[in-house]
Amino acid sequence: MNRQTSAHFKATNYNKFLFAEAQRDSLDVVLVTPRNPLNIGAAARAMANFGFRRLAVVAPFAPTWREARSAVGASEVLQNAEKFATLGEAVAGATLVVGTGTLTYRKPEQAVVVLPDLAPLVAQELARGGRVAMVFGPEKHGLTREDLSYCHILVEIPTDTGQPSMNLGQAVAVCLYELAARVDSAGGDAKAESPALQSTPAETSASAAPSGRLDLLAGVIEEAMQTAGYSPRTMQTANRHDLRLLLRRLALSEHDTRRILGLFRRILWRLRRAPARDDESR
């Protein structure tokens, strides 16, 4: 193969799997409480390898994470990364939040997708104008049960049971490679269909509600539950967790979310105006 033929092959084949420009800005990589700046830099470098630019870092442990030397060729990704205090704030604009990890030490409470089947879900969500957030947990223990309550689905990275934990930078690289290798950037279509499509928000064509809107709705429902005396105060944290998961399982559209939000606001208004019952006024 001569130099000209080699250059033509490289131009037409080597990068053909990378996401289109419009798609790249609709996918966020979110790192939750990362401890080692070198791992943050490695994650940024993996993002740059596959053309992704939007990095969000939630409550990083080290204050100097933007200066990580491991971000070779990806300093711009680090400098432009957004810092958030909570995961809820970091994924507020996403319509499909994907938690990552292994099932070795956890019992999932949402739909589980194996990594090779993730691409069709991401492709469909991007095709209908949604936003995707890929969420990665800290190096030591991964995403917590509370973190995962913000996720629509959990994608399992297949690893050996003898060493289920994966380095943060490597996990980001593996996931982004799988997406790049299986999503057709020209048309936004996936190269294979996934059975998980039947149980995720990417199934419908309507505009999905962003995660932040679901949290707003959850807050109003929780307030109505408290005002109505639905359960003891000691159950409020558990109720909040279950409600967050339930709303994501329902795969509500933006329109449905507005209607339900209006309904519960009206219920809450009536509850507050209702006279106290005899057993509550004593």
Query: Of 6-10, 235-239, 264-268, which range is least confident?
Result: 6-10
Do 194 and 218 lie in a common domain? no
The rounded distance, in Å, linking the Cα atoms of 68 and 221 is: 42
What pLDDT is recorded for position 23?
81
Do 143 and 251 lie in a common domain? no
For residue 217, with 0-12 CB atoms within 10 Å meaning exposed, 13-18 middle and 19 or more buried, which class applies?
Answer: buried
Do 197 and 221 lie in a common domain? no
Q: Which residue has the higher pLDDT, 1 or 259?
A: 259
Do 150 and 219 lie in a common domain? no
Asked whether residue 174 is domain-assigned, the answer is yes
How would you classify the pairing of strands 183-184 and 153-156?
A: unpaired
What pLDDT is recorded for position 199?
45
Asked whether the predicted pLDDT for residue 3 surpasses 80, the reply is no
Helix, strand, or coil here: 13?
helix
Asked whether residue 1 is domain-assigned, the answer is no
Q: Which residue has the higher pLDDT, 3 or 86?
A: 86
Residues written for the chain:
282
Q: What integer is the mean pLDDT of 89-102? A: 95
Would you state the structure tokens that stand for residue 45, as one six-digit string? 């470098």
How far is residue 4 from each of residues 9, 10, 13, 15, measured CA to CA in Å?
9, 10, 14, 17
Asked whether the predicted pLDDT for residue 193 surpasses 90, the reply is no
Do 194 and 253 lie in a common domain? no
pLDDT in tens, 39-78: 999 999 999 999 899 999 999 988 888 888 888 878 899 9
DSSP 12: I
Would you state the structure tokens that stand for residue 223, as one six-digit string? 């307030």
Do 223 and 127 lie in a common domain? no
Query: Of 16-20, 80-84, 142-146, which range is least confident?
Result: 16-20
* Cβ-contact 151, 110 below 8 angstroms: yes
What pLDDT is recorded for position 53?
92
The rounded distance, in Å, linking the Cα atoms of 30 and 87 is: 8
How far is residue 34 from each of residues 101, 132, 190, 260, measured CA to CA in Å?
14, 20, 31, 36
What pLDDT is recorded for position 185?
47
Do 103 and 81 lie in a common domain? yes
Q: For residues 8, 14, 17 and 22, what is the CA-based torsion angle, rounded to 10 degrees?
A: -70
Considering 172, 203, 234, which residue would you say is the last residue of a domain? 203
Q: What integer is the mean pLDDT of 136-156? A: 91
> What percent of the chain has pLDDT above 70?
83
| Sequence-ordered alpha helix ranges (H) in 138-199 | 145-148, 168-182
Asked whether the predicted pLDDT for residue 243 surpasses 90, the reply is yes
What pLDDT is recorded for position 282?
40
Q: What is the pTM of this model?
A: 0.84
